[in-house]
Chains A and B, each alone.
Chain A
């Protein structure tokens, strides 16, 4: 048995293949299509994921409102989402997912810090009221907003928190779109008491491997990584994420060799990717 924690893979792109229309809120399906959401959770559990993530990436009042929905459904969506994940998880842990508001913070954009804090608090409270083992704050594209979310979470509960930022690859290295650097940002987050800090989305597993090396060298087992299955392409009017399960698992195994102790997938990854990775992790010792 390996001591590596295996996170699950994508939910959004799985629901899109199950018929969610482009632009539809995946979070609403916790209420309107609970069976499908739960079957995705089950597929990840069966694939060997140790951590099942709730389908609540956009279920904060600020984003629901931006999508023309009534923000007062936040609590209901999050509670249903935890129930679905918990029922499907079996012996696996459940991570309550919190994503960014999607708005730029003052002074760069229109979102006031107080309003962001309120939005994160409402979601964190709803998730914490359910049976979650940890809170996963993921895909933040500015360190400042991630820190606000972390502050809000800590105000309402004492559940362990993991935070990941999303970095772009440029000629000068990896940065968030706000210019935050990976190593420095993760250090700041760990300094604020998160259990693990990491990188997810935007990057393919091939590119994430490069970033992971740098991060793990300095931060070792505190790092978690959830790359995409490559960059999506259109082939005959359908969207393809190009990395096969074998390719993805191979790259993730390299990250584990670099020292990462928690790995999983983001956009475009499927239960097949997670199963392949699970088997590869088992095979490491034999």
Chain B
């Protein structure tokens, strides 16, 4: 049954994911167990399968929708402590860059994972990122960059955030194909994830720090 749920999620079958999650709950599995032992590891695997050339954009978007369907079943049952791990997250692609496929995947995954996501779209200025974080009382800003040139602008968001005295209160998570952990460290971004699936875990880690 657990394996069936994992397969349903990976194949992007939202109805089966929802139903199997409900069945497992009826059989006495704990909501936290389903989330942490089945749903999250499986969705991380989707990231690996993309790297390997097993899953592609249509499948990734479907898997994200399936995760959402499964989480809707267990969300009301999760303990309040894990509820407080959810936050408001600003997501966008950096100024000068119109690549938005990866960014949209990240926004979808974070939303599926239960966060309130404000998607600013692509070509977003550092001022808009930080302005939106203030307006929405967000705890996290996620910045995508697909061009080696625009990646450099991610640093301006960190500067802008620090100038607004939000360091320690609003975390910054960067990603996109040319972005690396080293780059994140160098510009003072608190988080980095190589794919939308690991972004969920990394976002949770950062939310724990800023709250």
Binding site for B on A (CB under 8 A): 16, 21-23, 66-67, 102, 104, 108, 168, 170-173, 175-179, 232-234, 237, 239
Contacts and interface: CB of A to CB of B under 8 A. Distances in A.
Given A232-B148, A233-B148, A179 B52 contact: no
A22 B97 CA distance: 8
Contact of A179 (B58, B96, B151): B58
Interface in B51-76: 51-59, 61
24 contacts: A16-B149, A21-B96, A22-B147, A22-B153, A23-B95, A23-B123, A23-B150, A66-B98, A102-B98, A108-B61, A170-B53, A171-B52, A172-B53, A173-B53, A176-B56, A177-B56, A177-B57, A178-B56, A179-B56, A179-B57, A179-B59, A233-B148, A234-B148, A234-B152
Contacts, number: 56
Contacts of B101: 104, 177
Interface of B: 51-59, 61, 95-98, 101, 123, 147-153, 178
A195 B142 CA distance: 44
Contact of B149 (A22, A108, A170, A179): A22
Nearest to B59: A179
Contacts of B57: 104, 108, 177-179
Contacts of B58: 108, 178-179
Nearest to A16: B149
Contacts of A168: 53
Contacts of B97: 22-23
Contacts of B56: 175-179
A124 B149 CA distance: 31
B206 to A, nearest CB: 25
Contacts of B153: 22
A233 B58 CA distance: 29
Contacts of B152: 234, 237
Contacts of A178: 56-58
A67 B98 contact: yes
| Most chain A CB within a 10 A radius of its CB, from B52, B55, B57, B59 | B57
Given A16-B149, A177-B101, A178-B58, A171 B96 contact: no
A181 to B, nearest CB: 10
Contacts of A232: 148, 178
Contacts of A239: 148-149
A171 B148 contact: no
Contacts of A22: 96-97, 147, 149-150, 153
A23 B96 contact: yes
Contacts of B51: 170-171
